[in-house]
Amino acid sequence: MGVECGFDVYPPLGPDDQGVYKAFLEEITQKYKQAVHPNTGEPLIKIVGTPGTKNAYINFAVGEGPFLPYNHEYFMRFESKLVRRDSVMPYLKEVYLIARQYFPDKVQFWVSGASPTLIQIMERIPDMMTEEGPAHMREEYYKVRDELWRLKGKDE
C-alpha cells in the first residue's frame, strides 16, 4: 500500500498527436539530460533502447522509475509511488505541467492513497482530480504497461 501519484492521458494520443508527442519528449530530454539524482549523483534519466523503436523509453531514476515511452500510442500514464528514499513528486509534477502545455485537454493528475485535496494544496498542482484514484483504469493501459515491462526486462 502507499500513496501513488501521476497523471493519465485520456483520450489516448492518436496519429495526429505524433509530432506534438515527439516535441514533448524532446523538451523532457533537454530539461533532464544533465540532471542528476539528488541522493546518488547518477543521471536522473536514462534512454533505454533506440528512440523510434517499439520498446524505447525514457526512464526516470526516482521513485519506482516512472517512464515515458517513445511510441506515442503507449503513452497513457506517468506514475510512481511516493517513496521515502526519493522525492519523486517534483518530477511527476514537472512532467505533468509540461504535458499540459502539449496536451491541455488530455492529461489529468491524480492521487491514490491520500487526500487529493491535501496533495493539491501542498504541491500546488493545477486542474487536479478531486476524487481519489487514477483518472482512467482501462484494460488497454494494463496490456501496454505489461508489454513495456516485458520489453524493459529484455534490455537489462
pLDDT tens profile 34-59: 999 988 899 999 999 998 788 899 99
- What pLDDT does residue 42 have? 93
Cα-based distances in Å from 6 to 14, 50, 112, 133: 21, 25, 9, 10
Q: What is the mean pLDDT of the chain?
A: 83
Task: Quickly state the pLDDT bin for 20 (edges 50, 70, 90).
Answer: very high
Buried b / exposed e across 115-145, counting CB within 10 Å, b at 16+? Answer: ebeebbeebebeebbeeeebbbeeeebeebb
Is the pLDDT confidence value at 150 over 80?
A: no
Centre a 10 Å sphere on the Cβ of residue 33 and count the other Cβ atoms it contains: 12
CA 148, CA 153: separation in Å to the nearest integer?
9
Q: What percent of the chain has pLDDT over 90?
A: 47
Question: Which cell goes with 141?
Answer: 493501459
Helices of type H across the chain: 18-32, 89-102, 116-123, 139-155
pTM of this structure:
0.79
Tens of pLDDT, residues 71-109: 999 999 999 998 877 788 899 999 999 999 999 999 988
CA 14, CA 25: separation in Å to the nearest integer?
16
Can you tell me the mean pLDDT for 53-68? 92
CA 71, CA 68: separation in Å to the nearest integer?
9
